[in-house]
Amino acid sequence: MGSTTTRRHGAEFLAELLDFKGAVELARALDTATTASRPCATTTTEELGQARQHVEAAEREARRALDDRPSDPLVPAARVDAVLRRALTRAPRHRAMVGAVRELFVPVETRTLQRIVSVRRLIRDARSALALAIAAGGSTAGRLGQIDAALTAATAARSDALVARAVGALGESFASDVERAMLAQASPSRATVTLPTEETPSDVALAAVAIATDYVARCETFVVATYLHERSRLDMLVSAALGERL
């Protein structure tokens, strides 16, 4: 749980997407393709307007707080105590505790992946809105559209895997940090954690909630970074194929 891989910040995995050979080749093609003929101005304006609406919706979705339901927080203290108490009744106790701590991150992980899927869908909708204008923009613009579509399809599985890996790494790192917080609350002689039975949250639960708050913020940063990565490719395509800006 303390390896170098699991301690990396989730957004760092985007570098692996940006370094992917196809993405680099596309960036070079888009940067050098400046002679494409232009489609009808009125058609382009209408389709650009539709694309901009999708992109703006994607940005709002990307920047929306993950834990946006005050009455139902992603990692409430009561749930932490309940999960850890249940784990303490299992054997072997340490393995059960590690699994229980990792379980606490699942709602954050699920919400993060759902948000990324939503953001990508909106960017995909923006691409679809521009497809006809790009295809009508001449041979160079049409070719760039084909390259972009082919690259998107070719890298989809790798991209999904890297995103899932990044969010999973954050979950492992979260579990490691919570485990250390638990050990800090443990009896030095027995190295065990005793949770209170009263209604008030345990110190371990409060520490876990504080740690979770930090990791939710990291996941939000990762969602925004994913949006910016997807947006940058779309911006390059629109600039090179249509001579316009989103």
Task: Give domain limits for the chain.
Answer: 10-242
CA–CA dist 229, 87 (Å, integer): 40
- Quote the tokens at residue 244: 């316009």
Q: String of b and e for 162-181 (b: at least 16 CB within 10 Å)?
A: bbeebbbbbbbbbbbbbbeb
Taking a C-beta distance cutoff of 8 angstroms, is the pair 47, 130 a contact? yes
Report the pLDDT value the prediction gives residue 113, as an integer from 0 to 100.
97
pTM score? 0.77
CA–CA dist 155, 150 (Å, integer): 9
pLDDT digits (tens, 9 = 90+) for 80-98: 888 877 766 665 555 666 6
Low-confidence residues in the chain, pLDDT < 50:
1-6, 10, 15, 17-20, 33-37, 187, 189-191, 196
Report the pLDDT value the prediction gives residue 1, as an integer from 0 to 100.
44
Measuring CA to CA, how many Å separate 106 from each of 158, 167, 181, 200? 22, 10, 19, 24
pLDDT digits (tens, 9 = 90+) for 187-213: 454 445 555 455 567 787 888 889 999
